[in-house]
Amino acid sequence: MNMAVDFEEKQMSLNDYLRIIQRRKRHFLIPAAVTMALMLVIAMVWPATYRASATILIEEQEIPQDLVRSTITSYANQQIKVITQRIMTLSNIMTIVEKYGLLDESELKRTPRTEIAEKFQKNVGLDLVSAEVMDPRLGRPTEATIAFTLSFDHRSPDVSQKVTNELVNLYLNENLKTRTEKTATTTGFLKNEADTLHNRIRDLEQQLSNFKQENEGALPELYQYNLNVIERSDAELQDARARIGELDKRRLELMANMAQISPYAPTELPTGEKVLNDHDRLKALESEYRAKSAVYSDQHPDVLRLRREIDSLKNILGVGSDSETQAKQIKLEQDKLAQMQQTYQADHPALIQQQRLVATLQGASRPSTIASDIRADNPAYVLLDTQLKATDAEIKVLDQRIADLQQKIARFESHLSKAPDVERKYSELTRDLQTTTAKYQEITAKQMEAGLAQNLETERKGERFNLIEPPTRPDQPQSPNRIAIVLIGVLLAAVVGFAAVAIAEMLDEGIRGERELIELLGITPLASVPYITIAEEQTSPRTRLQVAIASIALGFIALLLTIHLAFKPLDVLWFVAIRKLGLG
């Protein structure tokens, strides 16, 4: 028969448990006391870690954003992350470690720099403080970072405070530096863009000026003006031609009147007798000579006298016998030719015949027989001749005016013919200039805004970090929580004690109690005798030792709790003791 009893399958009552505890108190007290003592040692020996913290408030810019808008558009939490990355560099961390002696020389030599940086970053705490605010960009409530807390953990409260203060300064300075650099970079970029656009505008203006000089008069804005000039010039041309027609008629009338008047006026003697002038007398003598020659012979005295007198007058006047007649005839035929040129085409038979007649008369006459050489002295003739010369002069002026108007019309028509190509190129240059100018004005306005934003950051009027709670020297350690360790030790001691009791009970194969005997044999005993403790068992040295150890452990625990609650916390007391001994 197997006498082992499965401890887990036993139906235990409260009395059974109490009897087990009473029976196994030695198994409970020793492991529990050892566990509790170990936890107390851990609580006392574990070095304290102090945490100094500072709170930095993220303040909005003092100047309303409607008046001056900052060029920094990132959110506060993004800025904090960027600043953290810039500060937590290997060089900065090593500078702080060496400056405040966070590690001794031996540790610095044997520990890699990256590992030192990782440990340092683990000791740095950064906690963001958020609140629900109205986002000006989105116009709706959103979670925004309004502050953050910096902290540093170290075994020395003084070092913790100093390092935290150093980190606060780094964050404040880096924030100011970052914002100033960003605004300065924005301002510099906009200035370079503005300079580039300004040079581009100057080049376009020079190109436009050269283009206007090369195409003067053919520009698009002069198109209507050119049309008006052509219309006015054409009207003036028609008026000039009409005036020439009128002057030609006037010239013919004057020439006809001059043909009916003798250029020479008769000479009147003092006696009142009118004497013919040399030209008229020459005509009269020639007429008389022809009449005498028809009656008398060539040797007749009257014929000879008339011949001598005619020759004498010819010598005086310097003309041939019919010079005046020929000159008048040539002039009349020339005037007739001029009139026919105004009436007929160049290939008209009558005009060609008249041109031949004038050429024949001019070839047959001598240079001295030109009618223009005749000096008239008849006032009426002279008046008509003066009017004729004035008419000829006006016709000459009008001819020159017509030529000028024709050249002017041709020039402006040339401007109009070039207008489409000129307008296309001119529009391209003008459009480029307008676009560049508008972009330049936009960039210049942004540059001014960036300059204001830069002044805003330089004078610390924009969004900034403000230290509202500087780091103070911590009086209480952040860790370890010795009370929690003691309480955990109490619970752990109880668990270990009960576990030891359970294990001892499970390994014990003895039969204890009437109920176990009934369960094992299936019969009820006639009588049961309880366990009788003799005097030797009650006063054995082993029992007394166990009781003494348990009493000391419980007394020590009670003493620690009393000191912690009534006098001073255990962690503070431990730190003071370490400082007194010169070990901290």
pLDDT digits (tens, 9 = 90+) for 474-503: 877 777 777 777 788 888 888 887 888 778
- Domains of the chain, residue spans: 14-44+497-580, 226-420
pLDDT level of residue 397 (50, 70, 90 thresholds): very high
The CB-side HSE value for 429 (13 A sphere, CA atoms) comes to 19
For residue 2, the model assigns a pLDDT of: 40
For residue 74, the model assigns a pLDDT of: 56
> Which residues have C-beta within 8 Å of that of residue 371, sequence separation ≥ 6?
327, 328, 330, 331
Q: Which of these, 124, 27, 14, 171, lies nearest to 508 by C-alpha position? A: 27
The burial class, CB within 10 Å (0-12 / 13-18 / 19+), for 351 is middle
- Helix, strand, coil: what percent of the chain each, to 5? 70, 10, 25
What would the mean pLDDT of 417-424 be, rounded to a whole number? 83
Residue 476 near residue 572 (C-beta atoms within 8 A): yes
pLDDT level of residue 7 (50, 70, 90 thresholds): very low
Work out the number of other CB atoms within 10 angstroms of the CB of residue 183.
23
Backbone angles phi, psi at 147, to 5 degrees: -165, 170
CA distance 83 to 173: 10
Q: Does the structure show a pLDDT above 50 at 4?
A: no
| Residues paired with residue 58 on neighbouring β-strands, in sequence order | 465
pLDDT level of residue 575 (50, 70, 90 thresholds): low
Of 94-108, 287-301, 512-526, 527-541, the poorest mean pLDDT is in 527-541
> Which residues have C-beta within 8 Å of that of residue 251, sequence separation ≥ 6?
335, 338, 388, 391, 392, 395
Q: Does the structure show a pLDDT above 60 at 47?
A: yes
Highest-confidence segment of 253-267, 330-344, 375-389: 375-389
DSSP class of residue 221?
Answer: G
C-alpha gyration radius of the chain:
69
Q: Does the structure show a pLDDT above 80 at 116?
A: yes
DSSP 257-312: HHHTS-SSPPEE-TTS-EE--HHHHHHHHHHHHHHHHHHS-TTSHHHHHHHHHHHH
For residue 203, the model assigns a pLDDT of: 92
CA 195, chain centre distance (Å): 12
Of 45-59, 405-419, 481-495, 542-556, the poorest mean pLDDT is in 542-556
Residue 168 near residue 470 (C-beta atoms within 8 A): yes
Tens digits of residue pLDDT in 160-172: 889 999 999 998 8
The residue behind tokens 């913290």 is 53
Q: Letter for the amino acid at 493?
A: A
Q: Which of these, 194, 80, 199, lies nearest to 451 by C-alpha position? A: 194
| Residues paired with residue 127 on neighbouring β-strands, in sequence order | 149
What would the mean pLDDT of 458-476 be, rounded to a whole number? 77
| Biggest CA-to-CA distance, the chain | 228
Query: Looking at per-residue confidence, does 51 or 133 come out higher?
Result: 51
Residue 215 near residue 414 (C-beta atoms within 8 A): no
The DSSP H or E segment spanning 140 is: strand 140-154
Q: Does the structure show a pLDDT above 50 at 157?
A: yes
Helical ranges in 344-468 per DSSP H = 349-364, 379-458
Here the tokens at position 68 are 């001056």
Q: Does the structure show a pLDDT above 80 at 404?
A: yes
Q: Which of these, 36, 444, 13, 7, lies nearest to 201 by C-alpha position? A: 444
Residue 52 near residue 474 (C-beta atoms within 8 A): yes
What would the mean pLDDT of 357-371 be, rounded to a whole number? 54
CA distance 520 to 517: 5
Query: Looking at per-residue confidence, does 84 or 289 come out higher?
Result: 84
Q: Which of these, 331, 310, 346, lies nearest to 258 by C-alpha position? A: 331
For residue 368, the model assigns a pLDDT of: 41
pLDDT level of residue 199 (50, 70, 90 thresholds): very high
The mean of the pLDDT values for the chain is: 76
The residue behind tokens 């020039």 is 411
DSSP 561-576: HHIIIII--HHHHHHH
What would the mean pLDDT of 547-573 be, rounded to a whole number? 66
Query: Looking at per-residue confidence, does 551 or 207 come out higher?
Result: 207
Q: Does the structure show a pLDDT above 50 at 367?
A: no
Residue 412 near residue 233 (C-beta atoms within 8 A): yes
DSSP class of residue 550?
Answer: H
Considering the entire predicted model, what is its pTM?
A: 0.50
Query: Looking at per-residue confidence, does 96 or 574 come out higher?
Result: 96
Here the tokens at position 147 are 């502050």
Calculate what percentage of the chain has a pLDDT beyond 90. Answer: 4
Q: Does the structure show a pLDDT above 80 at 413?
A: yes
pLDDT level of residue 574 (50, 70, 90 thresholds): low
